[in-house]
Amino acid sequence: MQKSLKTYTLLLLFLVFSGILAIGGISLFLANTMMTKMYLVEKESKNVRLVHKVHDQINKLLLAIQQNILHPEREYATRAENLLAEIGSGLDAYLEYEKQAPYPEGREEVRLLLLIQENLEGIRQIHRLSLTGAAAMPEVRALDRHALRVEKVVKDIDLLHFQIISRKIDKAHGKLRQVLTLYLVFTGLGLLFFLGVHRLYSRRVVRPLEQMAEAARSMAAGDLSIRVAAAGARTEIGVLAGAFNAMAEALHRNEAALLRFNQELEEKVLERTSALEKAQDELLRLERLATLGQVATSVNHEIKTPLNALSMNLQLLDKEVKGLCRASGTESTGLEKTIHIIGGEVERISMILDEFVRYARFAPLKKAETDLNAVISRVISMLGEKAEQAGVRLTPLLAPDLPRLLLDENKMIQALLNLNSNAFAAMPAGGVITFGSSDAGDAVVCTLSDTGNGIAEADQERIFQPFFSTRATGLGFGLPIVQKIVEDHGGRIICRSAAGRGTTFEIRLPKAPAANKEAA
């Protein structure tokens, strides 16, 4: 019975295509599962931020009550009453949410939230005493005890959320390992499959063709009696044994089809490999952001609480020193100056913490169609007076008729102001800052160049790293925030600089979909 090579080829292609679909489907399912876990991690991170928002509000409430005790004013009392109402409503809503939580840690968190409510009630009683003027230093110390209890409860809640987040990340890692295992298994099976196909191809196709080639040479030499062995007679090759040209043409088609098949399969493998690498990079990025958020939260609350206590005690100390000076009839002493210096350093530490938290908890963009040239012109207008005082000339070189972009205008203004801050610092004796814009086909390019001192080559690879700054008063968050704003817009930023020759920052922003369609 004759068997068709076409049937074998279709069966082979069907098997390969089915395998590719199966791999793709499983990979998409696992990737979707990983993204679901990451969404749950993000959701838990929001819960962490909510708890710490309540903690911050309680700290502000304690400060307002203490100020009302020390300096009875209606402003402090009103602020305390507003905070009490806001904290109470927020805690009630979050408590109802946690009562329905499916996690085993939910009941424990409900218990801890009830402890916060108990301490809040104690704070409310002290506030009521402060309104009557009956509160004194014992109540201030009681407020400190409530603050310490709330801080301990918040730490316990943080630990619960960390356990939940860790469990979700571990599950996501497990899915990633399954994807990698699936990739390796099917890669090995693919190699074995190809080895089997190669062997079968050699036995069923190449050997009969060699026999027919020898027969053709013999026929060309004039031996018309030569016959091809019957090994290939069960397929089309056997049917084509008597016609060399038809056999050669069929061989050519088969080889071309095999080449296309190999190329398509290689492209699919590269495509799946790229998808896996992107999924892994995205997982690592989300993990780093989640970790950075946890670190920012922990650092902020581990330092902000003693800073608040230090600030309040400095106020008390300043008040006592001024009272002693009035009682003794003397002028202010050097101690007041020392207190002022300490207060300034406390405020500077708080500012550093706020910058760090601002970078770690970056707000989502609010994009809208925006004219980039209008944004640049607004920044130039905002910097006009500062530039005049610093002896800096602002030069716009803006291309007309630029397509509108999907931008968060406030974020882009923030990014350009940060870049200009560095440019002003690099030109203490004045200079020129040039703003440029141009259409680069699939993107719009915004450039900012200065004639300042430039950046040393050894520092150029580190300028976008948090905490790195060449300025004595720099916090090291300006350029990392600029890079994050640009990347969140789908763009990228490049720095070109040479020591003593100025610096140029180039921002490439993708066009809005409608603009890309019109350009095409």
Domain ranges of the chain: 368-519
Q: Which residues are paired to 392 by β-bridges?
A: 431
- Say if CB 62 and CB 123 are below 8 A apart: yes
pLDDT at 235 over 70: no
Please, which pLDDT band fits residue 237 given cuts at 50, 70 and 90? Answer: low
Name the band, by pLDDT with cuts 50, 70 and 90, for residue 215: low
Q: Would you state the pLDDT for residue 517? A: 44
- CATH of 368-519 given 3.30.565.10, 3.20.20.70, 3.40.50.150, 3.40.50.720: 3.30.565.10
Place of tokens 């910058």: 355
Confirm if 249 and 257 have CB atoms less than 8 A apart: no
Whole-angstrom distance, CA of residue 412 vs CA of residue 485: 7
Per residue in 448-464, pLDDT tens? 999 988 887 777 677 77
Side-by-side strand order, sheet with 443-450: 392-398, 431-439, 443-450, 503-510, 492-497
Report the predicted TM-score, pTM, of the whole model to 2 decimal places: 0.39
Query: What does pLDDT average to over the chain?
Result: 75
The whole-number pLDDT of residue 91 equals 81
pLDDT of residue 445: 94
Averaged pLDDT for residues 355-379: 78
Yes or no: say if 398 and 437 are a contact pair by the CB < 8 Å rule: yes
pLDDT band at 391 (very low <50, low <70, confident <90, very high): very high
pLDDT at 248 over 50: no
Query: What sign for the dihedral angle of Cα 93, 98, 102, 103?
Result: positive
Look at residue 168 and tell me whether its pLDDT is greater than 90: no
Return the structure tokens found at 234.
Answer: 């069960």
DSSP state of 68: H
Residues whose CB is less than 8 angstroms from the CB of residue 29 and which lie 6 or more positions away in sequence, other chains included? none
Residue 34: its pLDDT value, please?
66
Residue 463: is it exposed, middle or buried by C-beta count within 10 angstroms (0-12/13-18/19+)?
buried
Please report, for residues 256, 269, 501, the alpha-carbon distance to residue 263 in angstroms, rounded to integers and kept in the order given.
11, 10, 49
Question: How far apart are alpha carbons 140 and 316 in whole angstroms?
Answer: 11
CB 252 within 8 A of CB 244: no
Contact 472, 451 (CB under 8 A): no
The strand pairing partners of 369, in sequence order, are: 406
Q: What does the block give as tokens for 487?
A: 């990347």
Residue 511's φ and ψ, nearest 5 degrees, are: -75, 155
Place of tokens 């209890």: 149
DSSP run (H or E) holding 301: helix 244-328
d(CA 448, CA 423): 9
Euclidean distance between CA atoms 76 and 82, whole angstroms: 10
Q: How far is CA 463 from CA 205, 277, 350, 506, in A?
A: 62, 27, 23, 14
Amino acid at 160: L
Going by pLDDT thresholds of 50, 70 and 90, the confidence category of residue 208 is low
Q: How far is C-alpha 264 from the geometric centre of its chain's CA atoms?
A: 34
Specify the DSSP class assigned to residue 231.
Answer: G
Q: Supply the pLDDT for residue 515.
A: 47
